[in-house]
Chain A
Amino acid sequence: MGLFTGLKDSISRATDRLFSEQEPKRIGIYGPPNAGKTTLANRIARDWTGDAIGTESHIPHETRRARRKEDVEIERNGKSVTIDIVDTPGVTTKVDYEEFTDEMEKDDAIRRSREATEGVAEAMHWLREDVDGVIYVLDSAEDPITQVNTMLIGIIESRDLPVLIFANKIDLPESSVKRIEDAFPQHKTVPLSAKEGENMDEVYENIAEYFG
Chain B
Amino acid sequence: MPEATKADDDRHDGVQIDLISGERMEGLASMEKIRMILDGVHDGNIVILEEGLTPDEESRLIEVTMAEISPDEFNGIEIETYPKSGTRDSSLLGRIMGNDESPKKLTVIGPANQIETLHKDETLISALVSRS
Residues of A within 8 A of B (CB): 91-97, 110, 113-114, 117-118, 120-121, 124-125, 127-128, 145, 147, 150-151, 154-155, 157-159, 185-186
Number of A-B contacts (CB under 8 A): 82
Contacts of B71 in A (CB 8 A): 97, 110, 113-114
Q: Which residue of A lies closest to B64 (CB)?
A: A121
Complex CA distance for A92 and B100, rounded to whole angstroms? 25
Does B77 make an interface contact (CB < 8 A)? yes
Q: If the complex has contacts A121-B63, A147-B79, A157-B88, are A96 and B112 also in contact, measured as CB distance less than 8 A?
A: yes
With the chains together, A145 CA to B76 CA distance in Å?
20
Q: Which residues of B contact A118 (CB under 8 A)?
A: 66
Is B63 a contact of A124 with CB atoms below 8 Å?
yes
On whether the beta carbons of B62 and A91 are closer than 8 Å, the reply is yes
Is the pair B63, A96 in contact by a Cβ cutoff of 8 Å? Answer: no
Whether A186 touches B87, Cβ cut-off 8 Å, given contacts A128-B56, A151-B55, A155-B58, is yes
Asked whether, in the complex, the Cβ of A124 is within 8 Å of the Cβ of B79, the reply is: no
Instruction: Kindly name the residue among A92, A93, A113, A154 whose own CB sees the greatest number of chain B CB atoms within 10 A.
Output: A93
Q: Is the CB of B76 within 8 A of A96?
A: yes
Instruction: Establish whether residues A121 and B67, one from each chain, have CB atoms under 8 Å apart when the complex forms.
Output: yes
Q: Is B81 an interface residue when CB atoms closer than 8 A count as contact?
A: yes
CA distance A185 to B85 in the complex (A): 11
Against A, the Cβ 8 Å flags (1 = close, 0 = not) of B16-43 are: 0000000000000000000000000000
Beta-carbon contact of B62 and A158 below 8 Å: no
A128→B81 CA distance, assembly (Å): 21
Residues of B within 8 A of A127 (CB): 59
Q: For A150, what are the chain B residues with a Cβ–Cβ distance below 8 Å?
A: 81, 83-84
Shortest CB-to-CB span from B62 to chain A, Å, is 5
Whether A185 pairs with B79 at a CB distance below 8 angstroms is no
Residue interface bits B60-95, CB-to-A below 8 A is 1, else 0: 101111110101000111111101100110000000
Neighbour of B65 across the interface among A93, A96, A110, CB < 8 A: A93
Give which listed residue, A92, A96, A120, A151, contacts B58 with CB less than 8 A.
A151
- By a CB distance below 8 angstroms, the chain A residues around B63 are 120-121, 124-125
A86 to chain B, nearest CB (A): 16
- Complex CA distance for A93 and B78, rounded to whole angstroms: 7
Neighbouring A residues of B87 by C-beta, 8 Å: 185-186
Cross-chain contact A93 with B55 (CB below 8 angstroms): no
A-B pairs, 4 with minimum CB distance:
A94-B76, A158-B55, A94-B112, A121-B66
Cα–Cα distance between A158 and B56 once the two chains are bound (Å): 8
Contact B56 A124 (CB under 8 A): no
Also in contact, A92 and B76, with CB within 8 A (given A110-B71, A120-B66): yes
